[in-house]
Amino acid sequence: MRNLRTRHVLSALALFALFAGLTLQAAHPVGAQPKGTIKIASQSPLSGGQAALGEGIKLGAQLAVEKMKGNLEKMGYKVEFVPFDDQAKPDVGVANAKNIIADKDIMAVIGHLNSGVAIPSSEVYKEVGVVMISPANTNPVVTDRGYPNVDRVCGRDDVQGKVGAEFAHGTMKIKSAYIVHDKTQYGQSIAEFFKADSEAKGVKVLGFEGTEEKSNFDSILTPIKAKNPDVIYFGGIYDQGAPFFKQAREKGIKSKFMGPDGMDSSDLTKIAGKAVVGMNYTSAAGPASALPKAKAFVDEYKKKFGKNPEPYAAEAYDAATIAIKAIEETAKKGKVAREDVATAVRKAKLSGITGDIAFNANGDRLKAQYFVLTVESDDPAKWGDNKIVKQLTIAPPEPKK
Amino acid sequence: MDLELLLGIFPQVLIDGITLGFMYALIALGYTMVYGVLEFINFAHSEIFIVGAFVGVELLLGMKASGWLDALPWVVVLLLILAAGMAVSGVLAVIVERTAYRPLRHAPRLIPLISAIGVSFFLQDLIRLVESLWRNSFNLVYPTMDALNTRFELSSTIDVSMKSLVVILAALLMLWGLYSLVNKTKIGKAIRAVAEDQPAASLMGINVNRIISLTFLIGGAMGGGAGVLFGVQYSLINPYTGFIPGLKAFTAAVLGGIGNIPGAMLGGLVLGLLESFAASYLSLLTGGAFGAEYKDIFAFSILILILIFRPKGLLGEVVRERA
């Protein structure tokens, strides 16, 4: 009985606190005041199997916000960085997006990692016109919808697939390929681009297979072993690709391995070890060593967070820098409104650590860089030393009207 | 259609299917034993299974750090991690029973079921919390033991890995041990008596609560052992890895006739083989129209068919109807 009463008192207290909080917030609508709070959000997987890359995006953006917020603070604004965890799941990303648009102080979103999450989430951002600058979403659909509030500082999968196929055919001299993908919007579409471009060059595609399996690849690998392709291409992310490649080697498959930028994380070698040494992968985000002004960024990142930046951390840094500069520009004209920030971002020009950034009419980066890299060592700490075997700067395809 | 290819991979697919099937069989035992005694589905069993895998990987990583992994012969290492995984999972299953199921023993059937699902979520996130704090990582990888990666090449398309042999052998030993325990010992007789009729068993001087705890201990230990073997075989685990194999093993238990121990073994093997053949052959036979991703649909369609014609499962008849 006593227990019950305590519980009643507790819930009454909780309710009271909730209402008190609500009324307080209603009494001070911070965003509406001339000098209020400006928030910049990030959305990326901070938990789960892809957290290594997702955390890199968060920390890169956080570093930029902390470094660049000075000007806005001088103008009298309070600047905050709010990270969200989308768990690499579309439903979680969309739920977070709804919270983001409900918080009127959030002026820009840096994210996501997964195109399959970014696409539905950006439908939500579009409702209120809050800008999303993506450091990592390479799927063509992200910008092909022509939304005024969606931009990206990385490359596109249709180009990346072509770069991969050209390298496989031209440099690796492969005659046959077996393609496996993870059935996500990102993985399947890059695999399809790779397939189409390889076939166009006369490479024989021996199989094209999708799987959501995460641990047991035995039964997929058996036919691959029998067909013995020159190269196995995995369109997906490292947390699935790594055990796949590891089990392939353990099964005695001798084919070469290849993958897209989803493989670009030190966790690939952490999981797969020696199996992936010598593997080639394409990327729309080069290692920090290849970036012109990255050394200072790498040092600062290491000093602050005690680890090497993962791929896309530098892209997230640039994306957040663009966001802050755009907000500054709108703030100078008086009121900071979401649509105006989005317009300013589209017009932005930045000489960032990943090179010169400007956007075309659809929000694609005008000059995006593409890399082909080779895994050099099975030590995850040396992921940043992976050798660049090819580096290209390619403009996105003309936006369709 | 390349007949040579289809036939060439057949033995390999068979071996993979058997390995997977024994894994399912070991997990399925936990479901089926608990069902046999309490008539309720212990949905937390998939987490008890993966806890075994985590105990194994932690022990291995610890041994690797201290250099024991290279110093000890691999058989000893394997036996050690198996024993540790089985012990922890078994004890955990007993604790779960004591705290989450026993207080609800006389509640309506749905209540302990909900409690089981709750325990499942709780354990998933507990593992995740502990591993994040302790190792700051989500995915854990079983350190490679070179002896286990030896392969015996039988032909260009077929080879058997040491791992598969170890998994099959260990599973067979565990299944044989369980079978003799249940059928040939006094304890086994007591378990069967409790499954048959609890009040009558207790009138015969059997401590029903202790037997139920024992059932959970044995089922949990089998699950934990399966977890370690799963880790050794497929190497990558995370806190949510247990869910899908758990679900499949539950299906296997139903397929074989839930409550029936040989049925669980048979069901596991059938499901493992079906899955393996579907994944390897579907895309070859249909010219890519149906890929490996349809393996579960294929396996579960067969399950539905079997259950339509044999609603009590493959070996369901052996279980006596209870009042």
Ramachandran assignment for B218, one of left (phi > 0), alpha (psi -120 to 50 degrees), beta (any other): alpha
Encode pLDDT of A98-124 as tens digits. 999 999 999 999 999 999 999 999 999
Q: For B290, which residue in chain A has the nearest alpha carbon?
A: A209
Q: Which positions in chain B touch A225 (Cβ < 8 Å)?
A: 9, 12, 157
CB contact under 8 A, B161 and A251: yes
Which sign does the torsion angle of CA A379, A381, A383, A387 carry? negative
Domain residues for the domain of A236 are 158-283+371-394
What integer is the mean pLDDT of A48-70? 92
Q: Does A52 lie in the same domain as A147?
A: yes
Partner-chain residue, chosen from B5, B144, B153, that has the shortest CB–CB distance to A226: B5
| Confidence band of A24 (pLDDT split at 50, 70, 90) | very low
Describe the crossing of helices B162-184 and B186-196 by its angle, rounded to 10 degrees.
80
A9 domain-assigned: no
Encode pLDDT of B236-279 as tens digits. 999 999 998 999 999 999 999 888 888 999 999 999 999 999 88
Q: Does A230 lie in the same domain as A348?
A: no
Of the candidates B222, B276, B283, B225, the residue with the CA atom closest to the CA atom of residue B253: B222
Question: Which one is the CATH code of B3-147+156-318: 1.10.3470, 3.30.200, 1.10.110, 1.10.287?
Answer: 1.10.3470
| Confidence band of A136 (pLDDT split at 50, 70, 90) | very high
Describe the crossing of helices A218-227 and B261-285 by its angle, rounded to 10 degrees.
40
pLDDT at A142 over 50: yes
Q: What is the pLDDT of residue B245?
A: 92
- As a whole number, the mean pLDDT across chain A is 88
Describe the crossing of helices A238-250 and A218-227 by its angle, rounded to 10 degrees.
60
Q: Which residue has the higher pLDDT, B70 or B270?
A: B270
What integer is the mean pLDDT of B6-29? 90
Query: What is the separation of C-alpha B107 from the centre of its chain, rounded to a whole number of angstroms?
Result: 28
pLDDT at B132 over 90: no
- The predicted model scores a pTM of 0.85
Q: Does A215 lie in the same domain as A120?
A: no
Alpha helices for A69-212 (secondary structure H): 70-74, 90-102, 115-128, 141-144, 157-166, 185-200
A196 domain-assigned: yes
Q: What is the DSSP string of A276-343?
A: GTT-EEEESS--GGGSTTHHHHHHHHHHHHSSPPPTTHHHHHHHHHHHHHHHHHHHHTS---HHHHHH
Cβ pair B32, B276 in contact under 8 A? no
Q: Does A192 lie in the same domain as A128?
A: no
Q: What does the alpha-carbon distance between residue B99 and residue B95 come to, in Å, rounded to a whole number? A: 6
Q: What is the pLDDT of residue B4?
A: 78
Cβ pair B59, B93 in contact under 8 A? no
Encode pLDDT of B301-320 as tens digits. 888 888 888 888 888 754 44
Query: Would you call B176 helix, strand, or coil by DSSP?
Result: helix
Encode pLDDT of B151-192 as tens digits. 887 777 677 888 889 989 998 998 899 989 999 999 999 999
Q: Does A148 lie in the same domain as A164?
A: no
| Confidence band of B1 (pLDDT split at 50, 70, 90) | low
Encode pLDDT of A172-190 as tens digits. 999 999 999 999 889 999 9
What integer is the mean pLDDT of A140-162? 93
| Confidence band of A161 (pLDDT split at 50, 70, 90) | very high
Q: Does A216 lie in the same domain as A328?
A: no
| Confidence band of A33 (pLDDT split at 50, 70, 90) | very low
Q: Does A191 lie in the same domain as A273?
A: yes
Encode pLDDT of A197-229 as tens digits. 999 999 999 999 999 888 889 889 988 988 899
CATH number at residue A229: 3.40.50.2300
CB contact under 8 A, B141 and A270: yes
Cβ pair A153, A318 in contact under 8 A? yes
Q: What does the alpha-carbon distance between residue A188 and residue A167 come to, in Å, rounded to a whole number? A: 20
A25 domain-assigned: no
Q: Which positions in chain B touch A252 (Cβ < 8 Å)?
A: 151, 153, 159
CB contact under 8 A, B280 and A246: no
pLDDT at A41 over 70: yes
ipTM for this prediction: 0.88
A252 domain-assigned: yes
Partner-chain residue, chosen from A207, A216, A271, that has the shortest CB–CB distance to B141: A271
Q: What is the DSSP string of A215-249?
A: S--HHHHHHHHHH--SEEEEES-HHHHHHHHHHHH
Chain A contact present for B182, CB below 8 A: no
Q: Which positions in chain B touch A239 (Cβ < 8 Å)?
A: 139
Q: Does A171 lie in the same domain as A239?
A: yes
CB contact under 8 A, A223 and B9: yes
Q: How many domains does the structure of chain A reveal?
A: 2
Q: Does A146 lie in the same domain as A241?
A: no
Q: Does A333 lie in the same domain as A386?
A: no
Q: Which positions in chain B touch A219 (Cβ < 8 Å)?
A: 13, 16-17, 275-280, 292, 295
Q: Does A325 lie in the same domain as A267?
A: no
Q: What is the pLDDT of residue A23?
A: 45
CB contact under 8 A, A225 and B157: yes
Chain B contact present for A356, CB below 8 A: no
Partner-chain residue, chosen from B5, B9, B151, that has the shortest CB–CB distance to A252: B151
Chain B contact present for A211, CB below 8 A: yes
Can you give the residue ranges of every domain in chain B?
A: 3-147+156-318
Q: Name the percent of chain B lying above pLDDT 70.
A: 97
Q: Does A361 lie in the same domain as A382?
A: no
Best B234, B237, B282, B283 member to test A by mutation, with max A CBs in 10 Å, is B234
Q: For B293, which residue in chain A has the nearest alpha carbon?
A: A211
